[in-house]
Structure 1
């Protein structure tokens, strides 16, 4: 692939990722066969969470999407979880937080989903603080 084609593909991938993250209160980028993605998916389903899932091993240019996600987040592996447009982390950050305090996690998700993105914005730090207090 020529350098200009790679640059164009990366730009398109970044646009796609931003679109998914900005238009969905909860976004999950993972892989169908990944046990860590499965843990997050199970958690969200147990919570009754409405989330947008993108399987990088199925979607076109998934390898480029993962490169873009790695560069944007600093995390080289799936899953990538975004809540309210902010990168939260992977299964290691999301699943233990839920197990420590399911009520806070559910409350945070509910606020995010029903109060709207503009009213409830958070960073990974505030997410950890809310879910571990």
Structure 2
């Protein structure tokens, strides 16, 4: 948990992903479509990816990717992000985290 906290600190949007996961790519594209510039950690491409993935699973991320943090808070995976988007609640979250301005 401390590792995840240090990774997401001071960043508006962080997405933990895998380069082969099409759902992760879709969630990243959705967030970018609003003008946000998320920090992406491809767990299959970083040296400590397996360790990060274990920490995400311990936090309750099922499946482990995509795992989206907005404003240093764990928001959820693809289902949660899509639900927020459909309820028009995703943009306000991004604005409050100063990931987007308009």
TM-score range, shorter chain: 0.7 to 0.9
Residues 85-121 of structure 1 deviation map (CA, whole Å, 9 limit, x = unaligned) = 21111011002321332xx42232112116xxxxxxx
Does the CA contact (< 8 Å) of 1:56 and 1:65 recur in 2?
yes
Following superposition, the deviation at residue 24 of structure 1 comes to 0.6
Which 4+ stretches in 1 moved above 3 angstroms?
Answer: none
SS of 2:51's partner is helix
CA RMSD of aligned residues (A): 1.8
Which of the two has greater helix per residue? 1
Question: 2:68 — aligned with what?
Answer: 81
Which whole-Å CA distance do the structure 1 matches of 2:62 and 2:90 have between them? 25
Tell me which structure has the larger Cα radius of gyration: 1
Higher relative contact order (CA 8 A, sep 6+): 2
Which whole-Å CA distance do the structure 2 matches of 1:18 and 1:108 have between them? 19
| Structure 2, unaligned runs of 5 or more | none
| Structure 1, unaligned runs of 5 or more | 1-12, 115-133
TM-score by length of 2: 0.84
